[in-house]
Amino acid sequence: MAQINVIIDGKTAAVAAGSFLLPAIRSLGIEIPTLCFHKDLTPTGMCRLCVVEVESRGKTRLVTSCNYPVREEIAVRTGTPAVAKHREILAEMYLGRWPNVPIVKEVAAKCGVNSSRFRSAITDENPHACILCGHCVRACDEFIQERILDFAGRGIKRHLTMPYGEVDPRCVGCTSCAYVCPTGAIEVNDDLNHPVDPQMIRDHGMKINAEMATLDDKQCCMRQVGTANIVGVMDRYDLLPVHNYRFGSHPDTPRIDMNALKKRLTQGVSDGCWKGCSMACAKTVDNFELQTGPYRGQKVCVDGPEYETAAACSNMGCFDLDFVFEFNFYCDTYAIDTISAGTTIAFVMECFEAGVIDKTYSGGLELRFGACADVLELLHRMARGEGFGADVGKGVRYLKEKWAREGRADPAYLQDIGMEVKGLEYSEYVSKESLAQQAGYAMAVKGPQHDEAWLIFMDMVNNQIPSFTDKAYALYYFPLWRTWFGLQGLCKIVWNDVVPADNKKHPPQAAAKIPDHVRNYFKFFEGMTGKPLDEKMMLAQSARAHNLQRLICRMLGKGAREDDMPPYRAVGPVTKEEYESRAERYDKQLRDLIGFDPAGKTTEEKMQALRKFRMGQYNKVVDAAYKARGWDENGVPTIERLKELGMDLPELVAIVKGP
Amino acid sequence: MRVEKPPMIVVNNRDKLDWREGMTVQDVLNAMRFDYALIVVSVNGAQVEKDAFATHPVPDGASVQVIHIAHGG
Ligand code: SF4
Ligand code: SF4
Ligand code: FES
C-alpha cells in the first residue's frame, strides 16, 4: 500500500493511504480525547471530541481525526486554540448531561473541564448511564452481523433501543455489546451454566471475537466463505486431492474455489453455531433447486459446503458447484459423511477407469472421474442400500477386500490406492510431500482424519520440523493439544483460523502454536472450573484421554504398528502417470536425498527407489513418534507411561499385555 | 582455479533460488509461488513487514524464512 507523509505538530509520520488519522497521531505519543472511538469498530465521528486542524492545499479546517482518511499530504495541528475551544465546549456539554459517568469525567478532564454549566432537565446522575457512543450498535452489527440495537428519537430524545422497544428474540445474548460499552450501561444477567468466573471467560472470548471481526478479511476470509476459503490455497500448494489423491491441483479448481463460491452463498449472518461468534463460518446456499433424488424440483437450503466437502468433489473430479451443493445436501440428508463418501467414490472411480470393475458390475453407472450425474445416482442407491450402492456404502476397506477376493485386481494395488487406515477413509489433503502429515494421518487413533495433526505447512512448506525428533515432537504436541480442546467442547477456529496481529513477536516454532490463543483456551478452562492450567497440565490431561483412545483402539484390534501403516498413495506416487506428472520433483529428490541418479532409468526403477526411501523415512518417523508418546515399537502404550499418567488400572494393564 | 559461486539465496533452509540484482521479498514469494494469507517473512533473521514485501531488498546469499501459519485442517 502507498505511504503518505503527514506532518503532525511538526513531526513527520508515514501513513498508509486511506487509513484514518487518529492512530497516526497517537502513534507519535500525542494524546487525543475520544468518547465514541473503539479500536475494533468502524469509527463514526459521533462525539466530535477528537477534532484536529487539518491543512491541505492552503485551506485549514477542523475534522474528526478518528474517521478522517488520509489521502494526500497534509499538515495536522492537534493543540491549536480553536481545537481546544471546540473540545472544551463539547466536554462541558457531555459532563453536564452525564456528570457521574467515570469515562466522561476522565475525558472531560483531559479537555481541561472539571465542572459544567450545562446541567438541565436531561442531566442523568447515573454513573452507568448510556452516553450514546454507539459502540454497542456497531459491535452487534460488525461482530455478530446482527442489527438488534439501534438509536431512536432525535436530539435530546435520542436513545438506545431494540426494535419496538422490546427484547428482540434474535438477540443471542452474546454480550458483545456489553463488552464494548464504556459505561456499564448494558448489564449481562445470565450466567449460562454457572461458570466460576464468567467475566474471565467473557474477557478472553471477546478478545478473540474482536480479532475475528477485524482481522479475518485480511487473513482467511472465513466470515465470507467459511472453511472453503482454502480450496484455492490447497490447489496452489499442490495439496488439493484430485482424482483419488493422484494429483494435488487441477486447472478447473477456480470453478469451485472461494471466489466462485462467494457468488453463490446467500447468508452472511450469525449462524447460531455458537452464540455470538463473530466468525460465523457456517455458510448456506438458499433456494437451491435439486435436480435429482427424492426431493428433485424442490428448493432447499444447503448447509455448507465446507472445505472438506468441496475437496471431496475435486477428489472425484467433479468441478461443478451445482454438483457440490447437491452432493452436500444429499449427504447431509442421508446422514452420509461427505468425506468418507467422496474418498470412497474417488477410489471406485480409479478402479473403474483401471478396469477393476465395469459398467455391468456397477449397475450401469459410468463411474469415471468427473461423472457428476452418475455419482449422484450412486449416492441415492447407497442411501437406499441398493445393489452396488450398498457395497460402496460400506467404504474403501470393504471394497478392497471384496475385489481382492473376487480376483478383480492385485490386492497390493488395491491396498496402494485405497485411501483408508483402520477402516476409516482419508480426509481431503494430499500428504505425499509431508512426512509428518503422513504420520499425522495414519497414526491418528481415530483413523486418518486430520483433526489430530495437521502439519502439512509446518513440515512441507515451512521446513520448521526438519529432523525426526522435531517431527516426533509435533506428533506428540499437536494431537494432544487438539484432543484436549476437542474434549472441552471448544471450537478449533478460534485457535488458528485467525491469528493475533502481533503473533509474529514469537519465534517461528512457538508462533506455530499461536501462544496467545492457547492461553485464551486455558483461561476458558479456568473461568469455567476455577482451576488454573498451563501447557504441562494440559498435555497431561490430554495424554490420559489419548492413551485411553489408543487402548480402546487396541481392544478393537486396530492399535498395533501395522494399523498405523498408510496406503502408499498417501506417501508417494503409485502409478507411472502420477510419477511422471511430477517427475522433476521426484527426480530431484532421488538425486539430492538418496544419491540415486535418475538419468537413463525407467520410471518403474525410479518409482521403486523412491518408494523404498519414503517408506524407510516413514518408519523412522513412526519410531520417533512412538518414543515421544511413551509407546513401544509396536505402538502400544508402555506400562511405565500408564503409571506416569495414573492410568495403570488392572483392566488397562491387561489390554497392554494382550491376550 | 577460482570457482565463481552462482548468486543464490536459500528459502526455509532448504530451497535454493537464483539471486538477481534488485531482488525483493515479493520476488522471492512469487518465485516460490507463496501467496498464502498468513505469512511471516524474515531475511537473514530480521522480520519484514507485509507492507514492505514489494520494496525490501534480498541480498545475495540471504537466508529467507517464509513461515506459513497453519490455518485450515
Ligand atoms: S447481546 Fe449480542 S446479539 Fe444481543 S444485542 Fe448485544 S451484541 Fe447484539
Ligand atoms: S449502551 Fe453503552 S455502548 Fe451502547 S451507546 Fe450506550 S454507552 Fe455506548
Ligand atoms: S472519537 Fe472521533 S468523533 Fe468520537
This model of the complex carries an ipTM of 0.86
> For the purposes of burial, counting CB atoms within 10 Å of the CB of A322, is it exposed (0-12), middle (13-18) or buried (19 or more)?
middle
| Cis omega (within 30 of 0) for bond into A650 | no
Instruction: Find the DSSP H helices in A532-590.
Output: 535-555, 576-581, 583-589
The minimum CA-CA distance between A463 and chain B, rounded to whole Å, is 6
Of B13, B35, B71, the CB nearest to A463: B13
Pick from A89-103, A159-173, A406-420, A452-466: least confident: A159-173
- pLDDT score, position A166: 73
What phi and psi values does residue A160 have, to the nearest 5 degrees? -90, 140
Question: Average pLDDT of A493-506?
Answer: 86
Nearest CA to ligand 1 atom 4: A171
Q: What value does the mean pLDDT take over residues A234-244?
A: 95
Q: Which residues lie across from A11 on neighbouring strands? A: A8
Give the alpha-carbon dihedral of A319, A321, A325, A331, to 10 degrees. 0
Give the integer Cα–Cα distance in Å for A519 and B22: 42
pLDDT of the residue at A493:
87
pLDDT digits (tens, 9 = 90+) for A38-62: 999 999 999 999 999 999 998 999 9
Give the pLDDT confidence score for residue B21 in this predicted structure.
93
**What is the H or E stretch that residue A339 is in?**
helix A338-353
- Rounded to the nearest integer, the mean pLDDT of chain A is 93
Instruction: Indicate the SS3 state at residue B62.
Output: coil
> Is a pLDDT exceeding 60 seen at residue A11?
yes
Ligand 1 mutation target, pool A162, A168, A170, A176, most atoms within 8 A of CB: A176
Whether residue A581 has pLDDT greater than 90: yes
d(CA A65, CA A30): 12
Report the atom number in ligand 2 closest to the C-alpha of A131.
7
Residue A650 identity (one-letter amino acid): P
pLDDT tens digit string along A153-192? 888 788 888 776 677 777 878 888 999 999 999 987 766 7
Q: pLDDT: is A99 or A450 the higher one?
A: A99
Q: Are A342 and A313 in contact (CB under 8 A)?
A: yes
Place of cell 432525535: A154
Tell me what pLDDT residue B73 has.
Answer: 58
Residues in CB range of A274: below 8 A, 6 or more apart: A491
> Residue A1: how many CB atoms within 10 A of its CB?
11
Residue A522 has pLDDT above 90, yes or no: yes
Tell me the pairing of strands A51-56 and A59-64: antiparallel
- HSE-CB at B68 with a 13 A cutoff on CA atoms is 25
CA Rg, chain B, in Å?
Answer: 13
Report the pLDDT value the prediction gives residue A120, as an integer from 0 to 100.
Answer: 84
Q: Please report, rounded to a whole number, the percentage of residues in chain A having pLDDT higher than 90.
A: 75
C-alpha A28 – ligand 3 centre gap (Å):
18
The residue nearest atom 3 of ligand 3, judged by CA position, is: A45
The pLDDT score that the predictor gives to residue A1 is 58
Compute the distance from residue A135 Cα to the ligand 2 centre, in Å: 6
Q: How confident is the model at residue A221 (pLDDT cuts 50, 70, 90)?
A: confident
Query: Cβ–Cβ of B40/A511 closer than 8 Å?
Result: yes
Burial track A169-182 (b if 16+ CB lie within 10 A, e otherwise): eebbebbbbbbbbb
**Would you state the pLDDT for residue A174?**
84
Whether pLDDT at A392 is above 90: yes
Question: Could you tell me which residues come within 8 angstroms of residue B55 by beta carbon, excluding any fewer than 6 positions away?
Answer: B24
Q: What is the pLDDT of residue A351?
A: 98
A269 pLDDT tier (thresholds 50, 70, 90): low
Give A270's pLDDT tier (boundaries 50, 70, 90).
low
Q: Count contacts between A and B (CB, < 8 Å).
A: 75
Ligand nearest to the CA of A21: 3
Q: A142 CB under 6 A from ligand 1?
A: no
Q: B63-68 and B8-11: which strand pairing?
A: parallel
pLDDT band, very low/low/confident/very high, at A277 (cuts 50, 70, 90):
confident
In this predicted structure, the answer to whether residue B47 has a pLDDT above a threshold of 90 is no
Q: Where are the domains of chain B?
A: 8-68
In the block, which residue shows the cell 502507498?
A2
Local confidence band at A280 (pLDDT 50, 70, 90 cut-offs): confident
SS3 A83: helix
- For the CA of A177, the nearest ligand: 1
Q: What is the pLDDT of residue A156?
A: 79
Return the pLDDT at B3.
62
Per-residue pLDDT at A409 exceeds 70: yes
Question: Across the interface, do B36 and A233 touch by the CB < 8 Å criterion?
Answer: yes
How far apart (Å, rounded) are the C-alpha atoms in residues A327 and A225? 18
Q: Could you give the strand order of the β-sheet that contains B39-43, starting from the edge strand earlier in sequence? A: B15-18, B8-11, B63-68, B39-43, B46-48
What is residue A289's three-state secondary structure?
Answer: strand
Give me the pLDDT at residue B72, please: 64
B68 to A462: CB separation less than 8 angstroms, yes or no:
yes
Q: For residue A309, is pLDDT > 80?
A: yes
Domains along the sequence of chain A with CATH: 3-79 (3.10.20.740), 130-189 (3.30.70.20), 222-425 (1.10.569.10), 457-657 (1.10.599)
Per-residue model confidence (pLDDT) at position A332? 96
CATH classification number, B8-68, choose in 1.20.1050.10, 3.40.50.1240, 1.10.3720.10, 3.10.20.30: 3.10.20.30
Q: List, chain by chain if needed, residues with CB within 6 Å of any ligand 3 atom.
A: A 34-37, 43, 45-50, 64, 66
Nine-digit cell string for A557: 484390534
